Amino acid sequence: MTDPRMIRAKSGTNHEGTSAHNRRVMIDALRVNGALSRADLARATRLTKQTVSNIIEELERDGLVVPQATVRKGRGQPSTPYALVPTGAFAIGLQIDRYVTRAVAVDLMGTQLARAEADLPAGGPANGIMVVLELIAGVRGELAKVAAESEKRLVGLGVAMPGPFDVEGADNDQWMMEAWQKFPLLETLAARTGLNVGLQNDAAACATAERMVGAAHGLDNVVCLYLGYGIGAGLILNSELYSGASGNAGEIGMALLSAGDPKRTALEHRASLASLYLHLGIDPAAQGVHDEIGRLAAEDNPRLREWVSEAAGNLRWAVHLVETIFDPQTVIVCGGAPEALARRLLAAMEPLLPSIADRPGRSLPRLTLGMTDPWSVALGAAAEPIGRAFDPRFCAIMK
């Protein structure tokens, strides 16, 4: 008797020279579905049983998979499921925001093992780079205490910060972190940590976190609408994060609300947390801002309710836009907004504007609440090196 559950997996290829791709396909199938037998893996990935057996043996030798208890189903032969070993790999994620930096260490499954945060001093990287380096070193040290082989199995450092990157006019835009964007951050971090370093914007990082352990887990086409100091959209298309030509895909916060607006007002100036801080007269650099906003939302503060009403209208337009362009399975609202505020926004955004997504037979709602956690960006930054090392990359086998 075969397992009746639907197994989600990408296809491998039995052509020569694609063993690295097949290895990634197998790891991805185990990450998405949990423990699977060799027969399950062969059916799901469309690889030969011999190819699956060879890769399983290789992954077991490398400490990435481990056999589980033998399972007997009906009259057939017993099977042995294989599961990923969480301690088979580790990564560190770093978030650099306007007033705070956070670092988190995760294992292969995205479980957080160590984390820390620190305030960023004024003056940009000239004053902040040592704070960042000390934060990474501290989290790396804590990771070594809880995972004995972490240094041998540390696959990289992921960095997330607000975008867009490499655009003109950043010097005159108070919303952008121009000093950090001009600083040789990746080169400095690679030289001082000895790790492979990757960069993505905070919206993409939040989408990476949702894909690994959140509401986008197991979904193929999703737009993650990130609500933070600014606004962005993390794009998961055909099961892969789409970054665009220069890493700036999804910068929907810069989209103009109306072509006829002489002020050329951008979406994030009306519906981001920064616009809420301005509306309430709150200093975004003050201690406890996240908790304070959450408290005001829970109490239904009139001034906050006023902002929610206007912001929801603008976000409703943003959802209509991304649905029309990308046709996602769902739009996930996520980011650093407190849960009480995020839920108020989602409720106020209903009913959504008509779009191509408004069709019968949907298996998912058009709008889904994702992570509402200030640590989600750092978590996604840590998930990026894991994905870089283990996720299938179909573009690679096309080259």
Number of helices and strands in the chain (H, E): 14, 12
For residue 1, CA distances in Å to 75, 113, 316, 335 come to 7, 39, 48, 43
CATH pick for 213-373 out of 3.40.50.880, 3.30.420.40, 3.30.450.20, 3.40.50.300: 3.30.420.40
List where CATH 1.10.10.10 sits in the chain: 19-84
In the prediction, which pLDDT does 3 show? 47
54-68, 262-276, 382-396: the lowest-pLDDT one: 382-396
**112-121: average pLDDT:** 96
Closest listed residue to residue 293, CA positions, set 37, 239, 284: 284
Question: What is the spatial distance between Cα 236 and Cα 233, in angstroms, rounded to a whole number?
Answer: 10
- 397: helix, coil or strand? helix
Question: pLDDT confidence of 126, banded at 50, 70, 90?
Answer: very high
- 385: helix, coil or strand? helix
**367 has which bridge partners?**
331
In the prediction, which pLDDT does 4 show? 46
pLDDT digits (tens, 9 = 90+) for 183-203: 999 999 999 999 999 999 999
Report phi then psi at 355, rounded to 5.
-155, 180
Closest listed residue to residue 221, CA positions, set 46, 356, 41, 388: 356
**What pTM, to 2 d.p., does this model score?**
0.89
197-201 and 222-227 as β-strands: parallel, antiparallel, unpaired? Answer: unpaired
CATH superfamily of 89-205+379-390: ATPase, nucleotide binding domain (3.30.420.40)
Query: In this structure, which topology does domain 19-84 adopt according to CATH?
Result: Arc Repressor Mutant, subunit A (1.10.10)
The residue to which tokens 């040789």 are assigned: 184
Residue pair 383/212 in contact by the 8 Å Cβ criterion: yes
Residue pair 217/263 in contact by the 8 Å Cβ criterion: no
Percent of residues, the chain, with pLDDT higher than 90: 73
- Tokens describing residue 323: 């649905």
Residue pair 225/333 in contact by the 8 Å Cβ criterion: yes
Q: Where are the alpha helices (DSSP H) in 46-153?
A: 49-61, 125-146
27 Rama class: left (phi>0) / alpha (psi -120 to 50) / beta? alpha
239 Rama class: left (phi>0) / alpha (psi -120 to 50) / beta? left
pLDDT digits (tens, 9 = 90+) for 79-112: 899 999 999 999 999 999 989 999 999 999 999 9
